[in-house]
Structure 1
């Protein structure tokens, strides 16, 4: 798989994590805070031009790591986030389930 130059930023004003490749937006992981310390990830998408490059993994990993580091429990209502957690069991203890 080719190396890509990507960055991930947290746009807290719009409740999303943004993935950029070479300065161009290539993906987003959106969330909503349901209660204090409960964050639901409900939508993750990689732009069609960037699919198949393994970019959803670093986007979801960064979003979940930031949420956990900030003291949030995770509600994975997005299928991509659910799949990521099933493959990365270190996040399982941080899952709160569906609201």
Structure 2
């Protein structure tokens, strides 16, 4: 069986199962990451939804643990989680903190050289 674009497919192609990613409009091309240190998180606010990367950093400690990444379903698959993680890691490195990642996504980014 082949898909509409001519690719071979070993199982029947079902257009109902195809995820369509809507591109962000120009105003959403590069959303700003905000650091909210009082809440121990980095956030992107867009379309009334909040994506976040949270961390634990005991006062006076040289360690920071990135423990959770969340992107609302409507905003997934556009690189927001990676943008949050990149901002968080850049901040931690600028501060000279030892980085721990109990969040599996942050851990994977670090292992890939992020």
TM exceeding 0.5: yes
Mapping of 1:1-99 within 5 angstroms? 2=23, 4-21=29-46, 24-34=48-58, 36-88=61-113
Distance across 1 between alignment mates of 2:78 and 2:101? 23
Q: Compute the displacement of 1:26 (Å).
A: 3.2
TM-score (norm 2): 0.69
**Equivalent position of 2:16 in the other structure:** none
Distance across 2 between alignment mates of 1:58 and 1:5? 9
Task: Give the structure with the larger strand fraction.
Answer: 1
Q: Compute the displacement of 1:15 (Å).
A: 0.5
Instruction: Calculate the aligned-residue CA RMSD, in Å.
Output: 1.8
Provide structure 2 residue ranges, at least 5 long, that are not aligned to the other structure. 1-20
TM-score (norm 1): 0.78
Larger Rg computed on CA atoms: 2
